[in-house]
Structure 1
Amino acid sequence: MILQILFIFLFVILASFILYFIYGIFMPAIKLQTIENQDPLFSQVELNYIGNTDEKNVEVSDKIAFVLCNPERSFKKERLAYNGIQSCALFNSIYDTPNDCTFGCIGFGDCVKACPQEAILIKNGTAVITQNCCGCGECITACPKNIIKLVEKKEIGSEIKLCAAKEDCLTTCDKCNSMSKIEIPEQKYFKFWKSCYKILTQH
């Protein structure tokens, strides 16, 4: 009988110690560690700055952006195969061009990232402005090739030289110095599909 009482007493003490360790030491330590792990790599000022980038004021004009490079272009051969960081500015500073045309679109989408209207698509390695464009000109600054221009909306449908290359430029591009109409495609459901793309690429 005494042994049973002693066993129960020791069991209660042991159980009490375990519960105290779990709720009095272990759980608070985890909570403290979680809080410490949440310390940001950036200061609150930097986080606030990053968070407010979407609130940038966009100037709307009566013009529309246009890329002086034909999205239907093709080359007989590529100059190099590049699998590095997808940045037009970085690539242009190191390699200049992925093909034998030094004037054409690089196609990594710096202008796409800069556009507040999400009005730019990449088609066949070439930036294409859509009807969502508000003419703010942010893409012009982002393009290291300086081949994005603003045109009057009334000029849509008119024929221009859809190429920024010089007349004596030696290139295998089949659309070099060719004339074409200014066409601004409609961007149907682009934001929806872009959201789907972001969700799929996060995993």
Structure 2
Amino acid sequence: MILRIILLILFLLLLIMLTFFTLYILIPSINKQDKKNEDPLVPLHLSPVILPEEKKYNPSDKKAYVLCSCHKECNLNRSLFNEEYTCIMAKTVFGSSLDCKYACLGLGDCVKICPQEAIKIENMTAIITSNCCGCGKCVSICPQKIIDLIPTDTKKAVVCGNETGEMTSCTKLKSEENISWGDKKDFKIWDFCYRIIKRLK
């Protein structure tokens, strides 16, 4: 008789434990696994995921041009600049102490904002390449106001934004240079491939 009572108690305990395991461990873990497959903000069964279209810029009949020569020699104190600075920061802090207040600061604000990756820095000066589509984003972000849009058929231009000629030791002051978009036709295909590979990464 005692043995039957003990077995009945053990059976009831086992049944209670099985019920507890099913209700509080097994079922919640299954539901949790199903929820992982859904977007935590917008469940997939409620709304499809719509990715924004990449904004495309139509080429215009103008291209950006930097009114500062990359061939210049100038007594600009570049040691004041930190590589982590932006052009706007350098202009705010060191603007009045530069040898030429119209010189390109060369810290690449225009490079970062260009959607075509059409700007490179050479001799601490921005250079526009043939990839430029003339969107004008670099014109508005340059704190020196030395980037301008010019017609693509322009052959020569005064590559200098210095209006007064004062306070500068620049060797290219108000000099006229042949317009070059900063790359050679032979290397355009390699530049195109490089930009595709970089975007895929």
TM-score using structure 1 length: 0.63
Residue 21 (structure 1) aligned with residue 24 (structure 2): yes
**Contact 2:110 2:142 (C-alpha < 8 Å) held by counterparts:** yes
Aligned equivalent of 1:127 = 126
Aligned residues: 183
Aligned equivalent of 1:63 = 62
Residue 117 (structure 1) aligned with residue 116 (structure 2): yes
Residue aligned with 1:128, SS: strand
Q: Pick from 182, 185, 194: which aligns with 1:185?
A: 182
Cα 1:84–1:27, aligned 2, differ >3 Å: closer, same or farther?
farther
Deviation at 1:14, TM superposition (A): 2.2
Q: Distance in 1 between the 2:195 and 2:100 partners?
A: 32
Q: Distance in 2 between the 1:9 and 1:127 partners?
A: 82
| RMSD value, Cα | 4.1
Aligned equivalent of 1:102 = 101
Q: Pick from 152, 159, 166: which aligns with 1:169?
A: 166
Residue aligned with 1:145, SS: coil
**Contact 1:78 1:98 (C-alpha < 8 Å) held by counterparts:** no
Q: Give unmatched runs, 5+ long, in structure 1.
A: 40-47
Bigger Rg, which one: 2
**Contact 2:165 2:173 (C-alpha < 8 Å) held by counterparts:** no
Residue aligned with 2:153, SS: helix
* 2:129 alignment partner AA: T
Provide, for residues 88-136 of structure 1, a one-character-per-residue CA deviation record: whole Å limited to 9, x for no partner: 3454344437853311222333333443433222334322111122333
Q: Give unmatched runs, 5+ long, in structure 2.
A: 43-49
Q: How high is the sequence identity, in percent, across the aligned residues? A: 30
**Contact 1:119 1:133 (C-alpha < 8 Å) held by counterparts:** yes
TM-score using structure 2 length: 0.63
